[in-house]
Amino acid sequence: MKKENVYSSKNVMSLVIIFLIIFWLLYALGSFLHESRKIRTEIEAIEAQNYARIQEIEEKKSQLDYLKTAERVDKEAKMQMGKKLPGEKVLVFIEEKLDVLPTEKMQKARVIQQDIPILEKWKWLFLHE
């Protein structure tokens, strides 16, 4: 019986080839998992954007529905053209602009702004003297 050498070149070469094949398979598996994770995160980002767009579309649809209602048309007519329905009462608020003439009090205020001691200014401010 002849004993084979364990470290023969044939055995070493076959082991090296097996290790290279295993390493290549592991590398391919790792690359595949990395790419699938990248694709999954991109899909999630796109889904989030789609959800946001859907929400915006729904909001715009509700605004469009409001713009088509008779209530909105009536409100716009009242605000822009001053129209009213029969039997309605309208209140109009007018901002009044007054031309203020210089009064004695205003002239005293001008005097206060000049070089007067601070205690005198406080006295005039709180006691109007």
Per the structure block, which two tokens stand in for 112? 């206060």
pLDDT digit string (tens) for 61-108? 998 888 888 888 777 777 776 666 677 776 667 776 655 555 666 666
Token representation of residue 22: 């295993």
Band (1; pLDDT cuts 50, 70, 90) = very low
Rounded to an integer, what distance in angstroms lies between the CA atom of residue 68 and that of residue 87?
A: 25
**pTM for the model:** 0.43
Domain map (residue ranges) of the chain: 9-92
Coil, strand, or helix at residue 129?
Answer: coil
Length of the chain: 129
Higher pLDDT, 102 or 43: 43
Both structure tokens of 59: 């909001």
Residue 54 has pLDDT above 70, yes or no: yes
What is the structure's pLDDT at 99? 56
Cβ atoms of residues 109 and 121 within 8 Å = no
